[in-house]
Chains A and B, each alone.
Chain A
Amino acid sequence: GAVVSQHPSRVICKSGTSVKIECRSLDFQATTMFWYRQFPKQSLMLMATSNEGSKATYEQGVEKDKFLINHASLTLSTLTVTSAHPEDSSFYICSARDRDNTEAFFGQGTRLTVV
């Protein structure tokens, strides 16, 4: 199956700093990418949907100025957590779909810890 790579897999940052997470589709063109966050023992909650070349669509309750999403190319989307606080500590997961809109392929996730 298609591969989606997330980087970094783990990151620890100080409170108040910004962190960027990358999501790459390695062998297909991802026209749509999705960003999720997952708290321990809980399910995935969709944060936003991004289409290549256009602004991301954020789910209700997700601060677009805090979670900046860029999808500038068909193989790369980034999520930047700005002015991170300890409550932003979570597992962030991206997924990608190609133009045929078939299966959604998931990255391996990024564990963010804000200290």
Chain B
Amino acid sequence: TQLLEQSPQFLSIQEGENLTVYCNSSSVFSSLQWYRQEPGEGPVLLVTVVTGGEVKKLKRLTFQFGDARKDSSLHITAAQPGDTGLYLCAGELTGGGNKLTFGTGTQLKVEL
């Protein structure tokens, strides 16, 4: 059983559309990160959230950490083909040391 479940698993949309990716768990995380990964490369950090209820914006990307620090969401406004990639949430469990547990992943494809 995966600790961090992401939904949807796959998403194919047209350029200009908005989308939201969810990352859910029954466990509490001291921090949560979102990454984007291109094929054949390592993941690249987009954002880190640490406070329950925290909202962070990165250009067209908005990240939210749930009040109870068990879930998070990533919202992309006006998606572009360059947003295509595998989006991964990853969290550090409270009291779990400094290792990251990755979510199941969301494969996003943005078409012209």
Contact = CB atoms under 8 A, between A and B. Distances in A.
Nearest to A91: B40
What class of interface size applies to chain A in its complex with B?
A: 20 to 34
Interface string A19-46: 0000000000000101010000111111
Nearest to A104: B100
**Most chain B CB atoms below 10 A, which of A49, A91, A106, A108:** A106
A103 interface: yes
Nearest to B107: A41
A6 B42 CA distance: 10
A45 B45 CA distance: 17
B62 interface: no
Contacts of B2: 43
B25 interface: no
A101 interface: yes
B88 A101 contact: no
B42 A107 contact: yes
**Most chain A CB atoms below 10 A, which of B40, B42, B104:** B42
A4 B55 CA distance: 29
29 contacts: A4-B42, A34-B100, A36-B102, A42-B104, A42-B105, A43-B88, A43-B104, A43-B105, A44-B43, A44-B90, A44-B102, A46-B100, A46-B101, A46-B102, A49-B97, A49-B99, A91-B40, A93-B42, A93-B43, A95-B100, A103-B48, A104-B33, A104-B45, A106-B43, A106-B44, A107-B42, A108-B41, A109-B41, A111-B40
Interface residues of B, number: 21
A97 interface: yes
Contacts, number: 48
Q: Which 4 A-B pairs have the closest CB atoms?
A: A106-B42, A43-B105, A44-B102, A43-B102
A46 B99 contact: yes
A101 B97 CA distance: 10
Contacts of A101: 98
B34 to A, nearest CB: 13
Contacts of B100: 34, 46, 95, 104
